[in-house]
Chains A and B, each alone.
Chain A
């Protein structure tokens, strides 16, 4: 697609429920990232995919968080047993390759605002 698409744009869920957040990256972008942005904070890294595999998941806060990218394109961030502290904007970004001359950084989606009540 023309840009990074994230759905839904807003999600309200009850504490303890399971949620899935979807990210559709720019076509051809091999790298995909998930970030979490809490109110008044900068985005914080969660997980990075290169192709289908999670190359770095060091930012996932605990084992309630999981993400997949089975075909190397669309990714889903899954949160089990949601807690009120999970409320944040979840941002997805994609890029073509990693670093090097001409590297353009990431293209971000508009995010999914998750509210746990």
Chain B
């Protein structure tokens, strides 16, 4: 079945440490892939997206993600985490997933990032 999986529910890193958040997808074709961030009480903000071409994409706030077709993954990375990065991170796939007749964003269950000082 087509799906989006974020295996890590909660991750804690120290400020200044590197970060990698995992995302795996199951989809018939090459999908559009997105990472969103949600701070407490806020809406979802787009960090970066992948459609085609260079498999390493750069986003806002120093984040990057790498599309690996062979692993069906689109992991989010940041070399040095700041305390303000503490938030919930969602991977999403745009395409025909599940029921319905239209392409749409389907989200993973999210990874909560905690940053210790």
Contacts and interface: CB of A to CB of B under 8 A. Distances in A.
A108 B43 contact: yes
Contacts of B41: 110
Given A41-B109, A42-B109, A103-B32, A108 B104 contact: no
A56 B104 contact: yes
Contact of A33 (B42, B43, B45, B104): B104
Interface in A68-117: 91, 93, 98-99, 101, 103-111
Interface SS of A by simple majority: loop
A28 interface: no
Nearest to B101: A56
Given A42-B90, A43-B90, A105-B49, A58 B43 contact: no
Interface of A: 4, 33, 40-45, 48, 50, 55-59, 91, 93, 98-99, 101, 103-111
Given A56-B102, A109-B43, 20 more contacts: A4-B43, A40-B109, A41-B110, A42-B92, A45-B106, A48-B100, A48-B102, A56-B100, A58-B99, A59-B99, A59-B100, A91-B44, A93-B105, A98-B103, A103-B32, A103-B49, A105-B46, A105-B94, A106-B105, A110-B41
5 contacts: A40-B109, A42-B108, A55-B101, A58-B99, A103-B94
